[in-house]
Structure 1
């Protein structure tokens, strides 16, 4: 086993896996996951809505926008309908680079590296806080002179300083050409999305699990998309992005296109 993996403290990737019904987690992850759920009963819905958002967005970008390159930062543990599976279902020649710095995700990365023969998948062990390293590594698999969809689902909430989070996004998008996309989800305390319950849950998380997390307001979330053209329906609960019948969850979702 990777000696960076700790089983004595809950970790986000494994707890998220637990909420999604996966088996790649430990008793400490389940205990913390259950306690967070007690504080915030809809957290499992948030996890599922976030995953469904990923599927709808990647399908749209591959099928309707013609995107063939995806950079998925903060991948998490493999589960059903990973980015490459969704994209290559639409276009078998899609190329996907996954990025995560969690050792347990690295251990399971081989499950992400299956690919249609016409396409490519690759895994990069890097931190979201180091966008230059990510771009350099991704450039070995992706053609960064052609449009790339950057996916950062539930990852900027682990960058506690909003200015640093904005700088990460700007570095990534500045390096990519017109026609590239930024796909974001982020938890919020926004009462319009029922986010008040997040406050106690996040406080408990930050005392009992890793890495620490923060929520952001609509204005802060919007700032990550500065200079990009928002795809309809704009900034919404991620469950409702092009699926109006879905329940509202306290997780913003949006897709921006670089003009």
Structure 2
């Protein structure tokens, strides 16, 4: 008789388990929501040194296994911040100004299921950078004689990335030398441009490698009117180095004083 309470307890547990199995389960059409791609255009960079736009990383994620047309995608991070918001399949993350390993995480939900993933991004200090060469910035300009109708080809193929990190090199251009970059970062080394103003232009090229290190170079270009003028106008040219000649036969000449050039 003493075993009877134990038997009743076991029977009660069995009945409870059978009833639990009969309860309806959440329907997900047999699919499992999962993140199949989580990427960053850089996973290592140095402390931003050229203003807030320099230390930005593009993040992207892709998920599968859902029939929902709308997904909720939210990002979090242990350092830095998201300057344009923390939602969406593609966004920008701003690195902090201190050396840190930041964990960036994303959570994707379709209302029934949630998938999460994360990746580390390393921000290095100056003293942590490996002792390898910085990238180089070199470009050629053809033709070297310019009018407002001339279409110039600028070729930066001779620029090289940091060999200690990888082969990827990004470039951007400033046509006026005013510190405002006129093109976004790109991996295309050759482009064409027409200068539509008669003036002395200072063309600048900046290159960036995967480490976030940069190199910069520039050259002056005098843009003239396409046809002879009835009057002579003068352009004041500051002291500096000037490229004389055409193509491979040209050379740099240093002039240590300002002068005026007629056109």
Q: What TM-score, normalized to structure 1?
A: 0.21
Q: What TM-score, normalized to structure 2?
A: 0.21
The structure with more helix, counted as a fraction of residues:
1
The structure with more strand, counted as a fraction of residues:
2
Comparing both chains, which one has the higher relative contact order based on Cα–Cα distances under 8 Å and sequence gaps of 6 or more? 1
Larger radius of gyration: 2
